[in-house]
Structure 1
Amino acid sequence: MELRHLYTFKIVAEVKGFTKAAEVLSYAQSSVTAQIQALEEELGTKLFDRLGKKVVLTATGEKLLPYALRMLELHDAAIQELTLNNVPAGTITIGAPESLAAFRLPAIIREYTQRYPHVKIILRPGVCWELRGLARSGELDVVFLLEPEAKEHDLHIETLVMEKMAIIAPPDHPLALLPAITADDLKEETMLHTEPGCSYRTLFEKYLNSFGVFPGTDLEFWSIEAIKNCVMSGLGLSFLPLITVEKEIAEGKLQALRWNDESCRVATQIAYHKKKWLSPALQEFLKLVEQHAQTWNERSRQA
């Protein structure tokens, strides 16, 4: 089995599609299809089933995946051990929710790739429960989580910074004039939510429901940028991490409502499997994350 075929197999399994895999790999879709077909012919079995626009692993594909991941990891380990001066090389696969992928990770990834140009980084967005599962299975090397602090028996999880949350509104919204708001003030409001499974959406909904508050209308968006634009246009209110709206608040386009409850607290955390082999490339990435986390905490204390 060729390693490049196994790597393509891994990516198709992760993104559940040949077109998306081609985008991730910067291949033509026909190349992705040809590599999977070559692997299937070599093994004498089908590895994927097509379900509409998605492809899913067959039972045989499910059996192959952990072996493929192990072989690819050993390949990276061999490269690290045999490279002159042990310069970090290989691939790091990272998972993160949209808010962190857009507002916490760009500076880290930019600095890392400048230091270690021989390391390829693949960033996969997702909701936290899904990302934890991918860290467990070994499909992702490391994941970032944005949710209440937690511990898992098989994952190493470290809190990097406690994130401030904000209920945002247009500056001319009546609630923006109040010295403080309560859950009761949101009864008749339209709330713009992130996707189902988003940890802070779930946390906020439970908080409101605990006071018997069920907002008048719920709208659902799978994009933070779309939510911000809709709030600015007066469509409703939203509950988002402060880091995602700081720029718009500073520009006077959005208002963070004054809200005294501290029960809806989430943390930016980093997680990986406790038995994960930490390659030199991954070790250097984790060190850089720690350095940036120190800066985040300093800024948070000063705010």
Structure 2
Amino acid sequence: MEIRQFQSFKAVVELNSFTKAAQALQYSQASITSHIQQLEDEIGAPLFDRLGKHIQLTPVGQELYLCVTELLGAYSKIKHISVDDLAVKGELRIGASETMTIYKLGPVLSRYKKQYPTVTISLINDDCLPLRERLHTGELDIAITLEPKVDDQQLTTVVCTEEPLVFVGEQGHSLQSIEDANGECMIFSQKNCALRRFFEAYLVRKGIRTDNQLVLTSMEAMKQCIMSGLGISLMPYISVKELIANNRMKVIPSSDESLMFFGQLSYHNNKWLSKAHKAFIEMVVEGC
């Protein structure tokens, strides 16, 4: 038996899906299926009842899940064992949204690596929802997101910063209010993005049509399209303030005085935090 088989099994159980587990762990679905089959062959009993499109743990699977949760917790602790109790060593698996990475984490990561050069850091960028899913599967240790306040009873979440949102268009845009935007092209990020969901909900609430839209996967591409006059969008102010100051974008007023997202650091309640984790969390909270 291998650790990756246990990680795949735990992810399938907690996400209740082979497909979602494959996405969260960045494996192919065939690999996830193979890991589960190998475990079933070793144990000599099925771990899941496959009822049409639904899966359910068998009694053997339920017993294994309890053991695997304990085992992977111990595995995480083993990876951070240091001969010198005063040393900060180990590995950090960090996930962060694009905006937080670009505009907030650079100085924090630089300071951390200078102070703790023996800690290995892997950083992935993704949308907020997938990042939280990876916390639940154990693929990530810590997630740093920019979104509405997280309400997840299985996660410990600390608000690090408040970041206003602004509607923006090209500098010469004639709109005086976002409420007058019917017929305008709305520039959206991809579906898993918290900003996209918030933007769409706002437009629906205001009765503004969204049938004319452009969907992009990169915030930088979105900004270029806005400046080119292709449409309007909702962006974190921190990501466009220089463009606004340099008269390359225009803020389009809203009747809502305050539109706010929150920079947040989250980790699973059951996650064992090493000295390396605790030092990083402290620096993020202080530095953001």
- TM-score range relative to shorter protein: 0.7 to 0.9
The alignment partner of 1:286 has SS state of helix
Contact 1:169–1:237, Cα closer than 8 Å, also in 2: yes
Q: 1:5 to 1:209 in 2, by over 3 A?
A: closer
- Shift in Å at residue 137 of structure 1? 2.0
CA RMSD of aligned residues (A): 3.4
Deviations 1:28-48 (A, max 9, x none): xxxxx9xxx9xx999988xxx
Cα separation, 1, equivalents of 2:40 and 2:283: 41
Write out per-residue CA displacement over residues 15-64 of structure 1, whole angstroms, 9 at most, x where no aligned residue: 5258xxxxxxxxxxxxxx9xxx9xx999988xxxxxxxxxxxxx9xx999
SS class of match (1:271):
strand
8 Å CA contact 1:189, 1:216 repeated in 2: no
TM-superposed deviation, 1:66: 9.8
Structure 1 position 196 matched with structure 2 position 206: no
Partner of 1:94: 94
In 1, distance between residues paired with 2:107 and 2:283? Answer: 10
Alpha-carbon spacing, 1:110–1:65, altered in 2? closer, same or farther (3 Å): farther
Q: What is the CA distance between 1:160 and its match in structure 2?
A: 1.4
What SS does the corresponding residue of 1:131 show, helix, strand or coil? helix
Question: 2:124 and 2:269 mapped to 1: Cα distance?
Answer: 21
**Could you tell me which amino acid in structure 2 is paired with residue 274 of structure 1?**
N
Distance 1:216 1:112, change over 3 A: same
CA–CA distance in 1 between the matches of 2:171 and 2:66? 51
TM-score (norm 1): 0.71
Q: Which residue of 1 aligns with 2:152?
A: 152
Q: 1:16 maps to which residue? A: 26
Is residue 103–residue 243 contact of structure 1 (8 Å, CA) maintained in 2?
yes
2:86 and 2:4 map into 1 onto residues whose CA distance is 23
Please give the per-residue CA displacement for 1:85-141, whole angstroms capped at 9, x wherever unaligned: 431111111112222222222221121111111111111222222222211221110
Deviation digits for residues 157-213 of structure 1, max 9, x if unmatched?
1211221101111111112xx4xx1x4311121111111021122112111111221
* Sequence identity percentage: 28
| TM score, norm. by length of structure 2 | 0.75
Instruction: Pick closer, same or farther for the CA change 1:216–1:130 going to 2, 3 Å.
Output: closer
> Residue in 2 aligned with 1:208?
203
Aligned equivalent of 1:301: none
State whether structure 2 residue 271 is matched by structure 1 residue 276: yes
Match of 2:45 in 1: none
Q: Stretches of 4+ moved more than 6 A in 1?
A: 1-7, 40-45, 62-70
Aligned residues: 257
Task: Encode CA deviations 1:61-89: one digit per residue, 9 max, x unaligned.
Answer: x9999988876764553454433243111
The equivalent of 2:254 in structure 1 is 259
Letter of the structure 2 residue corresponding to residue 145 of structure 1:
T
Which ranges of structure 2 fall in alignment gaps of 5 or more residues?
Answer: 12-21, 43-56
CA-to-aligned-CA distance 1:219-253 (integer Å, 9 cap, x gap): 00000000001111111111111111122222222
Q: For 1:124 and 1:241, how far apart are their aligned partners in 2?
A: 20
Find 1:222's aligned residue among 209, 217, 220. Answer: 217
